[in-house]
Amino acid sequence: MKILIINGPNLNLLGQREPGIYGSSSFDDYLKKLRQAYPDVEIDYFQSNIEGELINKLQEAGFTSCPVCDGIVLNAGAYTHTSIALHDCIRSLKSPVVEVHISNVHTREDFRHHSYLSAVCRGVICGFGLDSYRLAIDSFLSTK
Ligand code: DQA
């Protein structure tokens, strides 16, 4: 099984950025543990702060080069709440996408309560810290 994790803007700062909300682990450290926990799953990772690069990666993984990509775990960061372009991209993909958030966006500011992505994703996982990513992978494993 092959899973692609995509992180959007400011998620390269995990571990340093607002640790009270996002925790004190870097994503690289977390990813190492995740790969150890799922030795039979190939977990690829991509991060960008740029909306168009996220779209290019989603198209590449979910449409063109990756018929064996079983699932995409997407934390689009703040683009979740703004991006019709990501919405349009996700709805055209063949690979299923699970939307994840580290924090529980529904307990935070009003502008975080709406997602342009949820309606075109297979499901949404939010509020479990970095464990949200593991739960998303589990969802792909249990629906395979
Ligand atoms: C986030 C929540 C978003 O509202 C925020 O803009 C982020 C991170 C999360 O993982 O909790 O950058 O997606």
Q: What's the mean pLDDT when you consider all of the chain? A: 94
Q: In the annotation, is 30 catalytic? A: no
Q: In the annotation, is 22 catalytic? A: yes
- Report the C-alpha gap between 83 and 76 in whole angstroms: 9
**pLDDT, average across residues 5-13:** 98
Q: What is the pLDDT of residues 17-57, one digit of tens each?
A: 999 999 999 999 999 999 999 999 999 999 999 999 999 99
The structure's pTM equals 0.96
Q: Which of 7, 47, 102 to mutate to test the pocket of ligand 1 (most atoms within 8 A of CB)?
A: 102
Q: Which atom of ligand 1 is nearest to the CA of 126?
A: 11
Per-residue pLDDT for 87 more than 70? yes
Helix, strand or coil, per DSSP, at residue 119: helix
Q: Which residue ranges form the domains of the chain, and what is each CATH number? A: 2-141 (3.40.50.9100)
- Report the C-alpha gap between 137 and 143 in whole angstroms: 10
